[in-house]
Amino acid sequence: MNLDEALKTFVIESRELLEGMEDALLRIEQSPGDADLINAVFRAAHTIKGSAGLFGLDPVVEFTHNAENVLARARAGELPINAEFVALFLEVCDHMRTLVDRVANGGDFDVEVSDRSHELVVRLQAFSPAGIPAEQKPMLPSSSPDVVAETADEASTETGDWHISLRFGRSVLKNGMDPLAFLRYLTTFGTIVRIVTLFDDLPETDAFDAEECYLGFEISYRTDADKAAIEGAFEFVRDDAQIRILPPHSKISEYVDFIQSMSPDEIKLGEILIRCGTLTQNELDTALRTQAEEEAAGEAHHPIGEVLVAQRTVSPAVVDAALQKQKALKENRGGDSSMIRVNADKLDEHINLIGELIIASAGIDLSAIKSGIPELLEAASVMKRLVENVRDSALQLRMVQIGATFNKFQRVVRDVSKEIGKEIRLEISGAETELDKTVIEKISDPLTHLVRNSMDHGIESADVRLARGKPAYGTLRLNAYHDSGSIVIEVSDDGGGLNRERILAKAIERGLVKPDELPSDDDVYNLIFEPGFSTAEQINNLSGRGVGMDVVRRNIKDLRGSIDIETTAGQGSTMRIRLPLTLAIIDGFLVGVGNSSFIVPLEMVVECVELTQEEVDASHGRQHLNLRGEVLPFIRLKELFDLPDVPPPAENEDDDDDFGLGNADGTRDEGTSTANARYEVDEELAFLLQPVKRENVVVVTYAGKRAGLVVDELLGEHQTVIRPLGAVFNGMEGISGFTILGTGRVALILDVPGLVRRVASDDVRKNRAPSTHRG
* pLDDT tens per residue across span 171-195: 888 877 778 888 888 888 888 888 8
Amino acid (1-letter code) at residue 448? T
* Residues facing residue 628 across a β-bridge: none
- As a whole number, the mean pLDDT across the chain is 78
Q: How confident is the model at residue 331 (pLDDT cuts 50, 70, 90)?
A: low
Compute CA distances 548 → 433, 532, 556, 720, whole Å: 26, 8, 12, 34
Q: How confident is the model at residue 711 (pLDDT cuts 50, 70, 90)?
A: very high
Instruction: Name the residue type at position 285.
Output: D
Of the chain, the end-to-end C-alpha distance in Å amounts to 83
Task: Name the maximum alpha-carbon separation found in the chain.
Answer: 142
What fold, for 402-580? Answer: Heat Shock Protein 90 (3.30.565)
As a whole number of angstroms, the distance between CA 420 and CA 254 comes to 46
CATH homologous superfamily for 3-136?
HPT domain (1.20.120.160)
CA gap 672, 494 in Å, rounded: 80
Q: Domain residues of the chain, as ranges? A: 3-136, 145-332, 344-400, 402-580, 585-647+686-764
Residue 699 has pLDDT above 90, yes or no: yes
* Residue 772 to residue 775: CA distance in whole angstroms: 5
Question: CA 382 to CA 385: how far, in whole Å?
Answer: 5
Contacts of 225 (CB under 8 A, 6+ apart): 189, 190
Decide if pLDDT at 637 tops 70: yes
294-328, pLDDT tens digit by residue? 777 777 667 777 777 777 777 777 777 777 766 66
Looking from the CA of 141 toward its CB, the CA atoms found within 13 Å total 5
| Distance (Å, whole) CA 217 – CA 166 | 5
List all residues 6 or more positions away from 131 whose beta carbon is below 8 Å from its beta carbon: 125
Give the Cβ contact number of residue 219 at 10 Å. 22
CB-based contacts of 181-190 (< 8 A; 24+ apart in sequence): 182/233, 182/234, 182/237, 183/217, 183/219, 185/233, 186/219, 186/221, 186/230, 186/233, 189/223, 189/225, 189/229, 190/162, 190/221, 190/222, 190/223, 190/224, 190/225, 190/230
Phi, psi of 177 (to 5 degrees): -105, 135
**What is the Cα–Cα distance from 410 to 30, expressed in whole angstroms?**
12
SS3 725: coil
- Whether 402-580 and 585-647+686-764 share one fold: the answer is no
Question: Which amino acid, one-letter code, is at 539?
Answer: I
Angle between helices 344-371 and 374-398 (to 10 degrees): 160
Kind plus residue range of the DSSP H or E element containing 566: strand 562-568
Band of residue 693 on the pLDDT scale cut at 50, 70, 90: low
Whether residue 772 is predicted with pLDDT greater than 50 in this model: the reply is no
- Report yes or no: 221 and 191 within 8 Å, Cβ to Cβ: yes
The confidence score (pLDDT) of residue 762 equals 64
Q: Which of 60-64, 328-332, 641-645 has the highest mean pLDDT?
A: 60-64
The beta strands (E) that lie in 107-181 are given as 162-168
Confidence of residue 132 (pLDDT cuts 50, 70, 90): very low
Per-state percent for the chain, helix, strand, coil, to nearest 5: 50, 20, 30
Relative orientation angle of helices 83-104 and 3-30, to the nearest 10 degrees = 170
Which pLDDT belongs to residue 462? 92
Backbone region of residue 476 per phi and psi (left: phi > 0; alpha: psi in -120 to 50; beta: other values): beta
Residues 410-463: pLDDT tens digits? 888 988 888 888 999 999 999 999 888 888 888 888 898 999 889 988 899 999
* SS3 category, 771: helix
What is the structure's pLDDT at 140?
Answer: 32
- pTM score, two decimals? 0.60
Strand, helix or coil at 418?
Answer: helix
Quick one: CA dihedral 51, 54, 55, 61, positive or negative? positive
Just give the CATH number of 585-647+686-764.
Answer: 2.30.30.40
Contact 72, 42 (CB under 8 A): yes
Question: What stretch of H or E contains 60?
Answer: helix 58-75
